[in-house]
Structure 1
Amino acid sequence: MTIDPFSAADEFEHADVDSVVVFVDIAGFTAFTEAHGDHRAAELADRFATIAARVLGPGDEMIKTLGDAVMITSSDPTAALAFLRRLHEQTRRIDGFPLLRAGICAGAVVKRRGDVFGSTVNTAARLAAVARPGQIVGNADAASALRGTDLLATTSLGSLRLRNVGALVEAFALDVGTRHQEHVDPICRMHVSTDAQSLTITHEEDTYRFYFCSTACLRQFADRVGDMSTSSGDGDSQSIQSFLGEVAAPLGTLRSPTSGRGAAPMSTRSTSC
Protein backbone atom coordinates (compact mmCIF):
# COMPACT_ATOMS: atom_id res chain seq x y z
CA MET A 1 0.00 0.00 0.00
CA THR A 2 1.28 3.47 -0.90
CA ILE A 3 0.52 6.32 1.50
CA ASP A 4 0.04 9.77 0.02
CA PRO A 5 1.60 12.13 2.60
CA PHE A 6 -0.54 15.03 1.37
CA SER A 7 -3.86 13.28 2.04
CA ALA A 8 -2.97 11.06 5.00
CA ALA A 9 -4.23 13.61 7.56
CA ASP A 10 -7.71 13.41 6.04
CA GLU A 11 -7.89 9.62 6.04
CA PHE A 12 -7.90 8.81 9.78
CA GLU A 13 -9.57 10.14 12.86
CA HIS A 14 -7.29 12.34 14.96
CA ALA A 15 -7.07 15.60 16.87
CA ASP A 16 -4.51 18.39 16.54
CA VAL A 17 -3.93 19.75 20.04
CA ASP A 18 -1.43 21.79 22.02
CA SER A 19 0.13 19.80 24.81
CA VAL A 20 3.22 19.33 26.94
CA VAL A 21 5.04 16.04 26.39
CA VAL A 22 7.25 14.64 29.15
CA PHE A 23 9.71 11.77 28.75
CA VAL A 24 11.30 10.42 31.93
CA ASP A 25 13.73 7.53 32.12
CA ILE A 26 16.08 5.90 34.59
CA ALA A 27 19.62 7.24 34.21
CA GLY A 28 22.18 4.48 33.77
CA PHE A 29 19.59 1.73 33.22
CA THR A 30 21.88 -0.18 30.86
CA ALA A 31 24.66 -0.13 33.46
CA PHE A 32 22.20 -1.28 36.13
CA THR A 33 21.14 -4.18 33.91
CA GLU A 34 24.72 -5.25 33.27
CA ALA A 35 25.59 -5.12 36.98
CA HIS A 36 22.45 -6.66 38.48
CA GLY A 37 20.92 -8.76 35.70
CA ASP A 38 17.82 -8.74 33.52
CA HIS A 39 15.31 -9.74 36.18
CA ARG A 40 16.21 -7.00 38.64
CA ALA A 41 16.27 -4.48 35.80
CA ALA A 42 12.81 -5.53 34.63
CA GLU A 43 11.52 -5.31 38.19
CA LEU A 44 12.99 -1.81 38.55
CA ALA A 45 11.40 -0.61 35.29
CA ASP A 46 8.02 -2.03 36.28
CA ARG A 47 8.21 -0.40 39.70
CA PHE A 48 9.10 2.93 38.11
CA ALA A 49 6.13 2.79 35.72
CA THR A 50 3.79 1.93 38.60
CA ILE A 51 5.02 4.89 40.65
CA ALA A 52 4.69 7.24 37.66
CA ALA A 53 1.07 6.16 37.09
CA ARG A 54 0.30 6.66 40.78
CA VAL A 55 1.53 10.28 40.91
CA LEU A 56 -0.27 11.57 37.81
CA GLY A 57 -2.11 14.83 38.38
CA PRO A 58 -5.57 15.88 37.12
CA GLY A 59 -4.16 17.26 33.87
CA ASP A 60 -1.71 14.42 33.24
CA GLU A 61 -2.15 11.34 31.08
CA MET A 62 0.11 8.30 30.89
CA ILE A 63 0.59 7.68 27.18
CA LYS A 64 2.93 4.69 27.26
CA THR A 65 5.86 2.97 28.89
CA LEU A 66 8.96 2.21 26.85
CA GLY A 67 11.35 -0.08 28.71
CA ASP A 68 12.77 2.04 31.52
CA ALA A 69 10.99 5.21 30.33
CA VAL A 70 7.52 6.67 30.67
CA MET A 71 5.85 9.18 28.39
CA ILE A 72 3.09 11.41 29.67
CA THR A 73 1.25 14.50 28.50
CA SER A 74 0.34 17.39 30.77
CA SER A 75 -2.06 20.28 30.36
CA ASP A 76 0.70 22.87 30.76
CA PRO A 77 4.39 23.14 31.75
CA THR A 78 3.56 23.92 35.38
CA ALA A 79 1.55 20.70 35.67
CA ALA A 80 4.38 18.77 33.99
CA LEU A 81 6.89 20.13 36.48
CA ALA A 82 4.60 19.29 39.40
CA PHE A 83 4.36 15.70 38.11
CA LEU A 84 8.15 15.42 37.94
CA ARG A 85 8.47 16.73 41.49
CA ARG A 86 6.01 14.15 42.80
CA LEU A 87 7.77 11.41 40.85
CA HIS A 88 11.13 12.44 42.29
CA GLU A 89 9.83 12.56 45.83
CA GLN A 90 8.47 9.03 45.54
CA THR A 91 11.58 7.48 43.97
CA ARG A 92 14.06 9.15 46.31
CA ARG A 93 12.32 7.49 49.27
CA ILE A 94 13.28 4.09 47.87
CA ASP A 95 16.69 2.95 49.05
CA GLY A 96 19.08 2.69 46.10
CA PHE A 97 16.68 3.91 43.41
CA PRO A 98 18.71 5.39 40.51
CA LEU A 99 18.51 9.01 39.45
CA LEU A 100 15.96 10.04 36.84
CA ARG A 101 16.36 12.33 33.87
CA ALA A 102 13.58 14.09 31.95
CA GLY A 103 12.76 16.07 28.83
CA ILE A 104 9.84 18.51 28.55
CA CYS A 105 8.61 19.91 25.24
CA ALA A 106 5.59 22.18 24.80
CA GLY A 107 3.97 22.32 21.37
CA ALA A 108 1.45 20.86 18.95
CA VAL A 109 0.82 17.10 18.79
CA VAL A 110 -1.37 14.77 16.79
CA LYS A 111 -3.54 12.73 19.15
CA ARG A 112 -5.03 9.44 18.02
CA ARG A 113 -6.41 6.46 19.94
CA GLY A 114 -4.71 7.41 23.19
CA ASP A 115 -1.30 8.01 21.62
CA VAL A 116 0.41 11.22 20.50
CA PHE A 117 2.67 11.87 17.54
CA GLY A 118 4.72 14.65 16.00
CA SER A 119 7.88 16.69 16.35
CA THR A 120 6.98 17.77 19.89
CA VAL A 121 7.03 14.12 20.97
CA ASN A 122 10.33 13.45 19.21
CA THR A 123 11.93 16.55 20.71
CA ALA A 124 10.84 15.66 24.25
CA ALA A 125 12.44 12.23 23.88
CA ARG A 126 15.69 13.71 22.57
CA LEU A 127 15.83 16.31 25.35
CA ALA A 128 15.52 13.52 27.90
CA ALA A 129 18.38 11.72 26.17
CA VAL A 130 20.73 14.71 26.56
CA ALA A 131 19.73 15.39 30.19
CA ARG A 132 22.25 14.42 32.85
CA PRO A 133 21.27 12.16 35.75
CA GLY A 134 18.92 14.11 38.02
CA GLN A 135 18.37 16.82 35.40
CA ILE A 136 15.27 18.17 33.63
CA VAL A 137 15.75 19.72 30.18
CA GLY A 138 13.00 21.70 28.46
CA ASN A 139 12.52 23.50 25.17
CA ALA A 140 12.18 27.29 24.93
CA ASP A 141 8.37 27.30 25.07
CA ALA A 142 8.33 25.18 28.23
CA ALA A 143 11.08 27.23 29.90
CA SER A 144 9.36 30.51 29.01
CA ALA A 145 6.04 29.34 30.49
CA LEU A 146 7.79 28.33 33.71
CA ARG A 147 9.50 31.66 34.34
CA GLY A 148 8.09 33.26 37.43
CA THR A 149 7.25 29.91 39.02
CA ASP A 150 9.22 28.38 41.90
CA LEU A 151 12.09 27.23 39.71
CA LEU A 152 15.41 27.61 41.50
CA ALA A 153 17.18 28.38 38.23
CA THR A 154 16.88 28.14 34.46
CA THR A 155 20.17 27.62 32.66
CA SER A 156 20.45 27.98 28.90
CA LEU A 157 22.11 25.03 27.20
CA GLY A 158 22.17 26.85 23.87
CA SER A 159 20.77 25.66 20.56
CA LEU A 160 21.24 21.91 20.42
CA ARG A 161 21.45 19.61 17.42
CA LEU A 162 19.30 16.67 18.50
CA ARG A 163 19.43 13.30 16.79
CA ASN A 164 16.86 12.98 13.98
CA VAL A 165 15.43 16.45 14.72
CA GLY A 166 15.93 18.75 11.74
CA ALA A 167 15.96 22.20 13.35
CA LEU A 168 18.18 23.33 16.19
CA VAL A 169 16.36 23.26 19.53
CA GLU A 170 16.93 25.95 22.14
CA ALA A 171 17.19 24.01 25.38
CA PHE A 172 17.21 24.90 29.08
CA ALA A 173 18.15 22.99 32.22
CA LEU A 174 15.33 23.46 34.72
CA ASP A 175 16.52 23.36 38.33
CA VAL A 176 13.68 22.54 40.71
CA GLY A 177 15.84 21.33 43.59
CA THR A 178 15.19 17.66 42.95
CA ARG A 179 18.73 16.51 42.28
CA HIS A 180 19.85 13.90 44.80
CA GLN A 181 22.46 15.18 47.20
CA GLU A 182 23.99 11.78 47.86
CA HIS A 183 26.09 9.70 45.50
CA VAL A 184 25.77 7.33 42.57
CA ASP A 185 27.48 3.97 42.13
CA PRO A 186 29.73 4.40 39.04
CA ILE A 187 29.22 0.75 38.00
CA CYS A 188 25.47 0.16 38.27
CA ARG A 189 24.32 3.80 38.70
CA MET A 190 22.27 3.06 41.78
CA HIS A 191 21.77 5.97 44.16
CA VAL A 192 23.71 5.39 47.39
CA SER A 193 24.24 7.39 50.55
CA THR A 194 27.52 8.24 52.26
CA ASP A 195 27.24 5.29 54.65
CA ALA A 196 27.83 2.94 51.71
CA GLN A 197 31.19 1.32 51.00
CA SER A 198 33.57 3.77 49.37
CA LEU A 199 36.81 3.64 47.44
CA THR A 200 39.29 6.51 47.65
CA ILE A 201 41.73 6.80 44.75
CA THR A 202 44.73 9.10 44.86
CA HIS A 203 46.27 9.74 41.47
CA GLU A 204 48.92 12.36 40.74
CA GLU A 205 47.66 15.46 42.61
CA ASP A 206 43.99 14.59 42.97
CA THR A 207 41.91 12.48 45.30
CA TYR A 208 38.64 10.89 44.19
CA ARG A 209 36.09 9.08 46.32
CA PHE A 210 33.45 6.79 44.82
CA TYR A 211 30.55 5.13 46.65
CA PHE A 212 29.18 1.68 45.83
CA CYS A 213 25.99 -0.28 46.45
CA SER A 214 27.91 -3.52 47.03
CA THR A 215 31.35 -5.05 47.36
CA ALA A 216 30.91 -6.60 43.90
CA CYS A 217 30.55 -3.18 42.24
CA LEU A 218 33.45 -1.78 44.27
CA ARG A 219 35.74 -4.62 43.18
CA GLN A 220 34.69 -4.31 39.55
CA PHE A 221 35.53 -0.60 39.53
CA ALA A 222 38.86 -1.12 41.33
CA ASP A 223 39.79 -3.84 38.84
CA ARG A 224 39.00 -1.54 35.92
CA VAL A 225 41.18 1.25 37.29
CA GLY A 226 43.93 -1.27 38.03
CA ASP A 227 43.75 -2.67 34.50
CA MET A 228 44.10 0.84 33.07
CA SER A 229 47.12 1.52 35.24
CA THR A 230 48.81 -1.74 34.25
CA SER A 231 48.08 -1.61 30.54
CA SER A 232 48.65 2.08 29.89
CA GLY A 233 52.03 2.44 31.56
CA ASP A 234 53.64 5.58 32.94
CA GLY A 235 53.27 7.46 29.68
CA ASP A 236 49.48 7.40 29.80
CA SER A 237 48.98 8.77 33.32
CA GLN A 238 46.92 11.65 31.93
CA SER A 239 44.32 9.29 30.47
CA ILE A 240 43.81 7.63 33.89
CA GLN A 241 43.29 11.00 35.56
CA SER A 242 40.94 12.04 32.75
CA PHE A 243 38.92 8.85 33.21
CA LEU A 244 38.62 9.36 36.97
CA GLY A 245 37.59 12.97 36.53
CA GLU A 246 34.97 12.15 33.89
CA VAL A 247 33.45 9.44 36.07
CA ALA A 248 33.54 11.56 39.23
CA ALA A 249 32.11 14.79 37.81
CA PRO A 250 28.48 13.74 37.21
CA LEU A 251 28.27 11.44 40.22
CA GLY A 252 28.77 13.91 43.03
CA THR A 253 31.94 12.25 44.27
CA LEU A 254 34.71 13.91 46.22
CA ARG A 255 37.41 15.38 44.02
CA SER A 256 39.95 17.51 45.86
CA PRO A 257 43.65 18.29 45.41
CA THR A 258 46.09 16.59 47.72
CA SER A 259 48.62 18.63 49.68
CA GLY A 260 51.58 19.27 47.46
CA ARG A 261 52.98 17.48 44.47
CA GLY A 262 54.77 14.19 44.37
CA ALA A 263 51.81 12.03 45.43
CA ALA A 264 51.95 8.35 44.55
CA PRO A 265 51.03 7.69 40.90
CA MET A 266 48.10 5.49 41.95
CA SER A 267 46.82 4.29 45.29
CA THR A 268 43.44 3.00 46.34
CA ARG A 269 41.83 2.65 49.72
CA SER A 270 38.52 1.00 50.52
CA THR A 271 36.58 2.35 53.47
CA SER A 272 33.16 2.18 55.05
CA CYS A 273 32.05 5.76 55.65
Structure 2
Amino acid sequence: MNSTYNSVLTIAGSDSGGCAGIQADIKSISANGAFAASVITATTAQNTQGVFDIHPIPVSHIRKQLIAVLEDIDFGAIKIGMLHSAEVIETVKKTLKEYSVKNIVLDPVMIATSGDRLLNKTAVASLKSFLSDARLITPNIPEAEILIDKKIDSEKLGEAAQEIGETFKTSVLLKGGHLEDSEQMTDTLFLYDTQQVIFIHNPRIKTKNTHGTGCTLSSAIAAQLSLELTLEEAVINACSYLNEAITQGKDKTLGKGNGPVQHFPK
Protein backbone atom coordinates (compact mmCIF):
# COMPACT_ATOMS: atom_id res chain seq x y z
CA MET A 1 0.00 0.00 0.00
CA ASN A 2 1.29 3.46 -0.93
CA SER A 3 1.87 5.99 1.86
CA THR A 4 1.91 9.79 1.74
CA TYR A 5 4.78 12.07 2.66
CA ASN A 6 4.25 14.40 5.60
CA SER A 7 5.09 17.56 3.69
CA VAL A 8 6.06 21.08 4.79
CA LEU A 9 6.40 24.16 2.59
CA THR A 10 8.96 26.75 3.63
CA ILE A 11 8.66 30.29 2.26
CA ALA A 12 11.84 32.25 2.94
CA GLY A 13 15.09 33.62 1.58
CA SER A 14 18.16 31.65 0.52
CA ASP A 15 21.38 31.72 2.58
CA SER A 16 24.39 31.02 0.36
CA GLY A 17 26.38 30.03 3.48
CA GLY A 18 23.88 27.29 4.30
CA CYS A 19 23.41 28.21 7.97
CA ALA A 20 20.02 29.93 7.90
CA GLY A 21 17.11 30.64 5.59
CA ILE A 22 15.80 28.05 3.15
CA GLN A 23 18.88 25.87 3.61
CA ALA A 24 18.42 25.63 7.39
CA ASP A 25 14.68 25.12 6.93
CA ILE A 26 15.12 22.13 4.60
CA LYS A 27 17.65 20.50 6.92
CA SER A 28 15.48 21.05 9.99
CA ILE A 29 12.28 19.80 8.33
CA SER A 30 14.11 16.72 7.07
CA ALA A 31 15.70 16.01 10.45
CA ASN A 32 12.25 16.16 12.04
CA GLY A 33 10.79 13.53 9.74
CA ALA A 34 8.97 15.54 7.06
CA PHE A 35 9.45 16.30 3.36
CA ALA A 36 10.49 19.88 2.56
CA ALA A 37 9.38 21.94 -0.43
CA SER A 38 10.37 25.58 -0.84
CA VAL A 39 9.40 28.96 -2.24
CA ILE A 40 12.36 31.35 -2.35
CA THR A 41 11.62 35.04 -1.76
CA ALA A 42 15.18 36.38 -2.13
CA THR A 43 18.75 35.22 -2.59
CA THR A 44 21.57 36.52 -0.43
CA ALA A 45 25.33 36.81 -0.66
CA GLN A 46 25.92 35.55 2.87
CA ASN A 47 28.37 33.55 4.94
CA THR A 48 29.11 32.97 8.62
CA GLN A 49 30.35 36.55 8.96
CA GLY A 50 27.41 38.47 7.60
CA VAL A 51 25.01 39.35 4.77
CA PHE A 52 26.69 41.27 1.95
CA ASP A 53 23.96 41.54 -0.66
CA ILE A 54 20.26 40.73 -1.06
CA HIS A 55 18.60 40.09 -4.41
CA PRO A 56 14.78 40.12 -4.16
CA ILE A 57 12.94 37.60 -6.33
CA PRO A 58 10.26 39.30 -8.49
CA VAL A 59 6.88 39.15 -6.76
CA SER A 60 5.23 37.63 -9.83
CA HIS A 61 7.72 34.74 -9.70
CA ILE A 62 7.15 34.25 -5.95
CA ARG A 63 3.43 33.87 -6.67
CA LYS A 64 4.13 31.42 -9.50
CA GLN A 65 6.33 29.34 -7.18
CA LEU A 66 3.52 29.28 -4.61
CA ILE A 67 0.87 28.27 -7.11
CA ALA A 68 3.07 25.55 -8.60
CA VAL A 69 3.59 23.72 -5.31
CA LEU A 70 0.17 24.42 -3.76
CA GLU A 71 -1.65 23.10 -6.85
CA ASP A 72 0.26 19.83 -6.65
CA ILE A 73 1.17 19.01 -3.03
CA ASP A 74 -0.96 18.72 0.11
CA PHE A 75 1.08 20.34 2.89
CA GLY A 76 0.61 19.47 6.54
CA ALA A 77 2.19 22.77 7.57
CA ILE A 78 3.64 25.99 6.14
CA LYS A 79 6.71 27.72 7.58
CA ILE A 80 7.19 31.39 6.72
CA GLY A 81 10.48 33.19 7.24
CA MET A 82 11.65 36.60 6.12
CA LEU A 83 9.30 38.43 3.74
CA HIS A 84 11.27 41.54 2.86
CA SER A 85 8.59 43.97 1.64
CA ALA A 86 4.92 44.81 2.02
CA GLU A 87 4.29 43.68 -1.57
CA VAL A 88 5.80 40.25 -0.90
CA ILE A 89 3.87 39.90 2.37
CA GLU A 90 0.55 40.76 0.71
CA THR A 91 1.23 38.37 -2.19
CA VAL A 92 2.04 35.47 0.11
CA LYS A 93 -0.94 36.24 2.35
CA LYS A 94 -3.36 36.42 -0.58
CA THR A 95 -2.09 33.26 -2.26
CA LEU A 96 -2.14 31.14 0.89
CA LYS A 97 -5.73 32.23 1.56
CA GLU A 98 -6.72 31.11 -1.93
CA TYR A 99 -5.55 27.59 -1.11
CA SER A 100 -6.92 27.40 2.46
CA VAL A 101 -3.64 26.13 3.87
CA LYS A 102 -3.36 24.91 7.47
CA ASN A 103 -0.80 25.08 10.26
CA ILE A 104 1.05 28.27 9.30
CA VAL A 105 4.12 28.79 11.50
CA LEU A 106 5.28 32.35 10.96
CA ASP A 107 8.66 33.60 12.14
CA PRO A 108 8.23 37.42 12.12
CA VAL A 109 11.77 38.27 11.03
CA MET A 110 12.18 42.02 11.49
CA ILE A 111 15.58 42.58 13.10
CA ALA A 112 19.04 41.42 12.00
CA THR A 113 21.53 39.90 14.45
CA SER A 114 23.34 43.26 14.32
CA GLY A 115 20.22 44.92 15.72
CA ASP A 116 19.32 46.67 12.46
CA ARG A 117 15.68 46.70 11.38
CA LEU A 118 15.07 44.68 8.23
CA LEU A 119 11.56 45.95 7.45
CA ASN A 120 10.27 49.49 7.01
CA LYS A 121 7.11 50.70 8.78
CA THR A 122 4.84 49.83 5.83
CA ALA A 123 6.15 46.28 5.70
CA VAL A 124 5.84 45.88 9.49
CA ALA A 125 2.19 46.99 9.27
CA SER A 126 1.55 44.43 6.51
CA LEU A 127 3.26 41.73 8.53
CA LYS A 128 1.15 42.53 11.60
CA SER A 129 -2.01 42.16 9.51
CA PHE A 130 -0.81 38.69 8.45
CA LEU A 131 -0.17 37.31 11.95
CA SER A 132 -3.76 36.32 12.68
CA ASP A 133 -3.63 33.92 9.71
CA ALA A 134 -0.91 31.91 11.47
CA ARG A 135 -1.48 29.09 13.92
CA LEU A 136 1.74 30.08 15.67
CA ILE A 137 4.15 33.00 15.53
CA THR A 138 7.70 32.74 16.89
CA PRO A 139 9.12 36.19 17.72
CA ASN A 140 12.31 36.75 19.66
CA ILE A 141 12.37 39.44 22.35
CA PRO A 142 13.31 42.43 20.09
CA GLU A 143 10.67 41.42 17.53
CA ALA A 144 8.07 40.95 20.25
CA GLU A 145 8.81 44.45 21.54
CA ILE A 146 8.05 45.84 18.07
CA LEU A 147 4.78 43.89 17.92
CA ILE A 148 3.41 45.38 21.15
CA ASP A 149 5.47 48.59 21.11
CA LYS A 150 6.89 48.20 24.61
CA LYS A 151 9.92 46.82 26.42
CA ILE A 152 9.51 43.27 27.70
CA ASP A 153 10.56 42.57 31.28
CA SER A 154 12.25 39.19 31.70
CA GLU A 155 10.10 38.66 34.78
CA LYS A 156 6.87 39.01 32.78
CA LEU A 157 7.41 36.79 29.74
CA GLY A 158 4.12 35.00 30.23
CA GLU A 159 2.19 38.26 30.30
CA ALA A 160 4.03 39.50 27.19
CA ALA A 161 3.36 36.29 25.23
CA GLN A 162 -0.31 36.44 26.19
CA GLU A 163 -0.61 40.10 25.22
CA ILE A 164 0.90 39.40 21.80
CA GLY A 165 -1.38 36.41 21.29
CA GLU A 166 -4.52 38.26 22.27
CA THR A 167 -3.56 41.29 20.19
CA PHE A 168 -3.00 39.26 17.02
CA LYS A 169 -5.41 36.37 17.76
CA THR A 170 -2.86 33.60 17.44
CA SER A 171 -0.66 31.33 19.55
CA VAL A 172 2.81 32.65 20.36
CA LEU A 173 6.20 31.13 21.11
CA LEU A 174 8.22 33.95 22.69
CA LYS A 175 11.85 32.88 22.27
CA GLY A 176 14.19 33.55 25.18
CA GLY A 177 17.54 33.46 23.43
CA HIS A 178 18.20 37.19 23.93
CA LEU A 179 17.87 36.87 27.71
CA GLU A 180 21.35 35.88 28.84
CA ASP A 181 20.95 36.39 32.59
CA SER A 182 20.21 32.74 33.32
CA GLU A 183 21.86 29.35 32.89
CA GLN A 184 18.51 28.10 31.65
CA MET A 185 16.95 28.83 28.30
CA THR A 186 13.26 29.66 28.77
CA ASP A 187 10.88 29.84 25.83
CA THR A 188 7.32 30.93 26.58
CA LEU A 189 4.38 29.36 24.76
CA PHE A 190 0.94 31.00 24.82
CA LEU A 191 -1.82 28.77 23.43
CA TYR A 192 -4.53 31.06 22.07
CA ASP A 193 -7.32 28.47 22.00
CA THR A 194 -6.96 27.46 25.65
CA GLN A 195 -5.35 30.66 27.03
CA GLN A 196 -2.59 28.54 28.60
CA VAL A 197 0.92 29.83 29.22
CA ILE A 198 3.61 27.15 29.19
CA PHE A 199 7.27 27.71 30.06
CA ILE A 200 9.72 25.45 28.22
CA HIS A 201 13.11 25.09 29.88
CA ASN A 202 16.33 23.78 28.32
CA PRO A 203 19.99 24.22 29.32
CA ARG A 204 21.62 27.37 27.91
CA ILE A 205 24.57 26.37 25.70
CA LYS A 206 27.59 28.69 25.53
CA THR A 207 28.62 28.83 21.87
CA LYS A 208 28.89 31.23 18.96
CA ASN A 209 27.34 28.63 16.64
CA THR A 210 23.79 29.91 16.69
CA HIS A 211 23.46 31.19 13.13
CA GLY A 212 20.03 30.15 11.86
CA THR A 213 18.50 29.01 15.16
CA GLY A 214 15.25 30.91 14.57
CA CYS A 215 14.82 29.38 11.11
CA THR A 216 15.69 25.95 12.44
CA LEU A 217 13.20 26.13 15.33
CA SER A 218 10.19 27.38 13.36
CA SER A 219 10.84 24.78 10.66
CA ALA A 220 11.09 22.01 13.25
CA ILE A 221 7.74 23.08 14.72
CA ALA A 222 6.13 23.02 11.26
CA ALA A 223 7.54 19.55 10.64
CA GLN A 224 6.20 18.29 13.97
CA LEU A 225 2.76 19.73 13.15
CA SER A 226 2.79 17.93 9.80
CA LEU A 227 3.16 14.70 11.79
CA GLU A 228 -0.23 15.57 13.38
CA LEU A 229 1.03 16.40 16.86
CA THR A 230 -0.74 18.96 19.00
CA LEU A 231 0.71 22.46 18.98
CA GLU A 232 2.04 22.03 22.51
CA GLU A 233 3.71 18.71 21.64
CA ALA A 234 5.14 20.12 18.41
CA VAL A 235 6.69 23.13 20.14
CA ILE A 236 8.15 21.15 23.04
CA ASN A 237 9.64 18.55 20.67
CA ALA A 238 11.09 21.25 18.40
CA CYS A 239 12.65 23.16 21.32
CA SER A 240 14.25 19.93 22.53
CA TYR A 241 15.53 19.18 19.01
CA LEU A 242 17.06 22.66 18.68
CA ASN A 243 18.74 22.41 22.07
CA GLU A 244 20.36 19.11 21.08
CA ALA A 245 21.35 20.54 17.67
CA ILE A 246 23.06 23.48 19.40
CA THR A 247 24.75 21.15 21.89
CA GLN A 248 26.19 18.89 19.21
CA GLY A 249 27.28 21.80 17.03
CA LYS A 250 28.74 24.02 19.76
CA ASP A 251 32.39 23.01 19.24
CA LYS A 252 32.34 22.58 15.45
CA THR A 253 33.92 25.07 13.06
CA LEU A 254 32.48 26.35 9.80
CA GLY A 255 33.96 29.49 8.30
CA LYS A 256 35.37 32.40 10.30
CA GLY A 257 32.22 33.71 12.00
CA ASN A 258 29.10 32.38 13.70
CA GLY A 259 28.55 28.81 12.60
CA PRO A 260 25.38 26.74 12.34
CA VAL A 261 23.80 24.19 14.63
CA GLN A 262 24.21 20.48 13.92
CA HIS A 263 20.93 19.97 12.06
CA PHE A 264 21.21 16.18 12.13
CA PRO A 265 22.16 15.38 15.73
CA LYS A 266 23.17 11.78 16.34
TM (norm. structure 2) is: 0.25
Bigger relative CO (Cα 8 Å, ≥ 6 apart): 2
Structure (1 or 2) with the larger CA radius of gyration: 1
TM (norm. structure 1) is: 0.24
